[in-house]
Each structure stands twice: as C-alpha cells, then as structure tokens.
Homo-oligomer: A and B are copies of this chain.
Amino acid sequence: MAQKPSIPKGTRDFSPLEMMRRQYIFDTIRGVFRLYGFAPLETPSMENLSTLLGKYGDEGDKLLFKILNSGDYAAKLNDDEVRQASKICEKGLRYDLTVPFARYVVQHQGELTFPFKRYQIQPVWRADRPQKGRYREFYQCDVDVIGTRSLLCEVELIEIVERVFRALGIRVALKMNNRKILYGIAEAIGHADKMMDITIAIDKLEKIGLDNVKAELLERGLEQAAVEKLQPILELSGDNAQKLAKLKEVLSASETGLKGIEEMETVFRYLEQQKLDLNVELDLSLARGLNYYTGAIFEVKALDFAIGSICGGGRYDDLTGIFGMPNTSGVGISFGADRIYDVMTGLELFPEDVNCSTKVLFVNLGEKEEAASMSLLKDLRDAGIAAEIYPESSKMKKQMEYANRRSIPYVVIIGSQELEEGVATVKDMRSGDQQKVAFAEIVKSIK
C-alpha cells in the first residue's frame, strides 16, 4: 500500500507560508477591484469542449486538458473512434478566464445589468511543457467591464493598476498602445491586409531587435519599401504628446489610425487630470499576441526586478461574437499572480505579519495552567487576535521551538507561580524581551 507520494508535473502544493503570501496578493488585488465597483464572478472549472475548442488557435487546442467521459467511455465506440479525443471527452478544464467570461455574458445576457463589471480570480490549466515559471495550473486575476465603449473604463483600469502595485509596494511602468494605431500604420505603409503580421512582428521588437523584426516582415511578404516606411514609426521618440503629434502626421490618411490617436489622447488627458502617480508610456512596439484586441492595449512591468509583464490587457469589440452576441465592446486587464509573487519574494516586499498565521502562543504547562490559558485565549480571539495553545504539556524547549518555527511573535507563559499571582509572562520572540502582564491586561498588551 505504501508508495512515495508525488504530484503531477507542472502542478504545485502551496505551503502555509506561500499561501499566506499568495492570499495577501489576492486580497490586495480583490480589495482594489471592489473599490472600483467590480463584482466577483466564478465559472466552473470544466467547460464543454465545444465552448473551448477553436478559441485559442491550433496550439491552444492542443494544450487543453480534456476530461474523460464518466462511466464506460468506450462502450459504444469502434476501435477508430476510441482513438479520437472528441469521442471520449466532452469536457475540458478552462484555459483562461476570458472565454468562460464571454460564454457567461452571452448565456446570461438577459439577467445582467450592462455595463457589466466583473472580476474573476480562479485557476486555469494548460498542458504546456512545464518549466521555470511556467505551470500547468496557475491563477489568473481578471477584471473586465463589458457593454460600453467609454474610455473612462480604460482610465479606471489604469488607476486600478496604480493602486494595486502601490499597495503591494512594487514600482512599475505601464506601457500602452492602441490596436487602431497599429492598423493605421499598416494602412499607411500600404498593407492594411497584413495588420496582424505586422503586429506580431512588432510584438517581438524588444525580444529580437529591429533587424530581426525587419527580416521577419520581409518573410511575411512585405516588400523592402514598406518595411523601410515602417522604420521611423518604430523609432519614434519623445514624450507621449510628441509621439502622438508625430503619428498624427504620418497617419493623417488613416481614419482608423486617427481614431486610435484620439482615444489615446483622451485617456492621457484623464490621467493627467487625475494626477496619477504612474509612468504611462505610449509604446508602439507593444502589440500583444491576442487577436481579439481592437483598441487600447496595456502591459505592466516591474521596474526593479527582471521578469516578463506582470499585468496586461486591452479593449475588445467582439469577444462575445463567437457565442452569438455581436457588437459588445469591453475592456479588461489580468494580473499575473505567480509573477507578482516572484517579484515580491525577490524584492522582499511581503510585510512581516503576512509570514505568520498565529500571533500568540500559550505555552502548555499542565492542566490547571491550561484552564487559565483557555480563558485568556477566548478573550484574545474575541478581540480578533489569532492565538493558540500548544496542545500538549510537552517540554518547554519543544514548545518554544514550535513558536520559532511557525514565526509566532508572542509567547505567553503561565506557570504555577504566574497562576497564583494572576499574571502571565509575555515574551516577544523577536526581541527576546519578557514582561509580566496581569491577566486582565493581556489583550491590551498584545494589541
């Protein structure tokens, strides 16, 4: 019966310390989402495969975890059929929170109040090859508003970014672009049809450099002249206003491009008015891979820690179209909890009290002392202070070790002498200081 237990590759156990830190991140993010009036939503872990397939490209389809039909899955199938996943699996684990959100909005459109503001913090699953920082089960923290084209939504999302990372203590820069501008650029160089190719190539600018991007564009069928036309746009410099002014000239013939510029100007104007303490930069090389974006796109990076983007998103005009509800514009962003965790660990940003679950441990010195401790424990807990008693009257050393290993900051000792005097010895485990405190004063003293 005995076996060396393990977990599937690419999955993780989260220890109490990791969990307390993760909850701190989730609670912070959730708290900010709530401040902005977003309400929680949860969808099932499993969706019908018909909901998921074809939404993430061929590569994505392969990465879906499929769930074997219950009962005798092979009963009525011939030998060929039983070799087809589509015959033996009807359900799959969700791959992201966006498609289930779109499915939900379409399915429940009659009950929802639009604009519909929701956040969703749930795990997603991908059968990707596991590697450092890439897992087969990980959480996404999405926030979206759907059913309005108002640019105030973009502004609020940027405010949310600022507020979340300020609360977490992570210095960040937000890069922003607009798909309409990217379309305008494609139009301006005479290749409106190749907007996605150009976008995908531009997306790699930071990773592979200007020359390689140019080479890739040539490969994708752009002629040399068009690629040359693109270069000055990629090398645009100056502040946001200067870049936009320059772009306005270059894209003067593209109605869509001008619309994109106008949207950016509006957002920047709001941000200035709100005096947001956040570096928001127009970055034309920002494209983001997801092809449902149609307006603003965002990406957030940590300034003091080298890691990919820790938050990103954008506006989409037809996410729900795939489920039969066209022309419903929305905008959203997603926080990458795992990377945020890595940044905070790397920069040691977790507050001290996030690392301990118990604030006060009562040492257990026997039955009579226990009784006094139990009554004081009740008072502490009534006051909202996490406290516990060591469950056995073991050796003092063992109990103190327990407190140390669990990072419990205060230990209360009630021995026979203390019991007689009605006082407890309260030890500060960080400083080593000890003091006698009357039973009636313990709650106040710990607080």
B37 touches A14 (CB 8 A): no
Complex alpha-carbon distance, A187 and B150, angstroms: 75
Whole-angstrom distance between the Cβ of A365 and the nearest chain B Cβ: 13
State which size class the interface on A falls in.
35 or more
A266-301 interface with B by 8 A CB criterion: 270, 273-274
Interface of A is mostly: mixed
A10-36 interface with B by 8 A CB criterion: 11-17, 19-20, 22-23, 34-36
Return the contact of A45 from the options B85, B123, B406 (Cβ within 8 A). B123
Q: A45-B123, A88-B68 are in contact. Are A392 and B15 (CB under 8 A)?
A: no
Complex alpha-carbon distance, A38 and B357, angstroms: 7
A391 touches B150 (CB 8 A): yes
Q: A19: which B residues are within 8 A, CB to CB?
A: 39-42
Complex alpha-carbon distance, A323 and B67, angstroms: 26
Please give me the residue from chain B that is nearest to A23 by CB atom: B40
Complex alpha-carbon distance, A423 and B153, angstroms: 25
A68 touches B89 (CB 8 A): yes
B11 touches A44 (CB 8 A): yes
Hey, what's the 0/1 contact readout for A44-83 against B, CB within 8 Å counting as 1? 1111101100000000001101111010011000010011
Q: Does A132 contact B (CB under 8 A)?
A: no
Please give me the residue from chain B that is nearest to A89 by CB atom: B68
Q: A67-B66, A374-B270 are in contact. Are A7 and B44 (CB under 8 A)?
A: yes
Q: Does A388 contact B (CB under 8 A)?
A: yes
B6 touches A107 (CB 8 A): yes
Q: A378: which B residues are within 8 A, CB to CB?
A: 274
B323 touches A2 (CB 8 A): yes
Return the contact of A3 from the options B35, B323, B357 (Cβ within 8 A). B323
Complex alpha-carbon distance, A4 and B4, angstroms: 46
Complex alpha-carbon distance, A46 and B124, angstroms: 12
B67 touches A5 (CB 8 A): no
Return the contact of A43 from the options B13, B22, B62, B381 (Cβ within 8 A). B13
A388 touches B8 (CB 8 A): no
A41 touches B16 (CB 8 A): yes
B8 touches A90 (CB 8 A): yes
Whole-angstrom distance between the Cβ of A13 and the nearest chain B Cβ: 5
Q: A137: which B residues are within 8 A, CB to CB?
A: 44-46
Whole-angstrom distance between the Cβ of A313 and the nearest chain B Cβ: 17
B48 touches A6 (CB 8 A): yes
Q: A127: which B residues are within 8 A, CB to CB?
A: 70
Complex alpha-carbon distance, A427 and B99, angstroms: 38
A48 touches B106 (CB 8 A): no
Complex alpha-carbon distance, A63 and B357, angstroms: 35
Whole-angstrom distance between the Cβ of A264 and the nearest chain B Cβ: 18
Return the contact of A8 from the options B13, B48, B370 (Cβ within 8 A). B48
Complex alpha-carbon distance, A40 and B15, angstroms: 8
A381-395 interface with B by 8 A CB criterion: 381, 384-389, 391-392
Q: Does A371 contact B (CB under 8 A)?
A: yes
Q: Does A111 contact B (CB under 8 A)?
A: yes
Could you write out 18 A-B pairs with CB less than 8 Å apart?
A5-B106, A5-B107, A6-B107, A7-B43, A7-B47, A11-B45, A16-B41, A23-B40, A34-B386, A35-B385, A37-B386, A46-B65, A65-B70, A66-B68, A70-B127, A148-B392, A152-B389, A274-B374
What 9 pairs across the A-B complex have the smallest Cβ distances? Answer: A37-B388, A2-B324, A16-B39, A11-B44, A150-B391, A37-B358, A39-B357, A19-B40, A70-B127
